[in-house]
Amino acid sequence: MPNPPPTLAEPSRQGTRMALAMLASAAVHGMVLSTQFVQVNPRLFEDPNLPMDVVLVNAKSLESPLNPDALAQVNLAGGGNTDDDRRLKSPLPASPQTQTGEEEAAMQTRVTELEQQARALLSQLKTDAPLQRNTPAPAPRPEQPAIDASQLNQQAREMAQLQASISQQWDSYQKRPKRTFVGANVREYAFARYVEDWVAKVERVGNVNYPEAARRQGVYGSLKLTVSIRADGTLEGVEIDRSSGSKILDAAAVKIVELATPYAAFPDDMRKKTDILSITRTWTFTRSDQLVGTD
C-alpha cells in the first residue's frame, strides 16, 4: 500500500525550529558583541601591609643622604671602611679584643706550621747524614771582600759633622731675632706711636747738637738713614741709605742718632711682634740750622 502524501503541518514545524535557532544565535551574537573586556589591575590583589626593612646603624650624620639605600633609625650619609655594596651584620662597633684574638690565632697557626716544617727538615737531615759522609766536600765559596773599618769610621764622622752642621744652622735660625722694618707710613698704632716719639727725640737732640761746621760753612741738605733699635731701647746700628753729598752732614746725622740713645723700650704689644725695629727716615738739615725728620 503506498505511503500517504505529507500533510501541511510538517513544514510548519521545521520553520518554527529554524526560526528559534536563528533567534537564539542572534541573541548570543548580540551579547558577545555588546560585552566589554576591562583589564584588571594586579595591584588590587596585593597586600597593602607589606613588611618594612629597617637597618640599625651605629653612627649618624647631620646631613641626610640624597639617595638612601635603606631605612634606618637616624641619618647616615656615607661611612664604613669598604667601597663594596655591603651592610653591617650587627649594629655594634667592631670589638678590638675580637680582632686581636683573630690575629693571635693566625699567628699561632703560623707558628705551628713553622714547627712542622722544622721537624721535617730535621728528620731529612738525619736521613741524609750517612750519605753526606761519603760525598766529597763542597767547593769553598769565594771570599767576600773584607769591610774596611777605616772607611766606615770616616763615613760615620762625616755623617756626624753634617748632622752637627744642620743642628747648628737650625739653632742659629731659631735664635735669630724677629725684625720689623717701618718707613714713614706706619699703619699699626703701636709702631706709629713709637716712631713719632722717636722722631721727636732725635729732632730735639739734633737741634741742641747741631753741627757747628755745617752752620759755619752754610752746608745744608737731606739724607736717608735706617736706624735699628732693640727691644730694650739700645741702638743696634745705623746705616746711610742715601748720602746728603756732604761728609759733614752724614757724620753729624749718625752722631745725633747715637747721642739720642737710649731710646724708649718697646711696649708689650710691640715685644710680641718684633725684637728689633728698623726705622727708615729722611733727615733734612735746613737753611735755618735745624734738623727735621721728613717722609
Phi and psi, residue 251, nearest 5°: -65, -35
Supply the range of the domain harboring residue 221: 188-289
Counting the structural domains of the chain, the total is: 1
CATH number at residue 227: 3.30.2420.10
Q: Which of 57-61, 70-74, 131-135, 192-196 has the lowest mean pLDDT?
A: 131-135
Which residues on neighbouring strands pair with residue 258, listed in sequence order?
none
- Is pLDDT above 60 for 7? no
Please indicate, yes or no, if residue 267 is contained in any of the structural domains. Answer: yes
Confidence (pLDDT) at 177: 83
Distance CA 116, CA 93 (A): 37
Under DSSP, is residue 276 helix (H, G, I), strand (E, B) or coil?
A: strand
Amino acid at 247: K
In angstroms, the Cα distances linking 242 to 9, 178, 225 are 154, 25, 7
Under DSSP, is residue 173 helix (H, G, I), strand (E, B) or coil?
A: helix
The pTM of this model reads 0.42
- Is pLDDT above 80 for 161? no
Distance CA 194, CA 270 (A): 9
Please indicate, yes or no, if residue 164 is contained in any of the structural domains. Answer: no
Query: Can you tell me the mean pLDDT for 184-202?
Result: 83
Please indicate, yes or no, if residue 194 is contained in any of the structural domains. Answer: yes
- Is pLDDT above 90 for 144? no
Cell output for 79: 661611612
| pLDDT tens-digit readout, 42-73 | 666 666 665 666 666 666 766 666 567 666 66
Please indicate, yes or no, if residue 195 is contained in any of the structural domains. Answer: yes
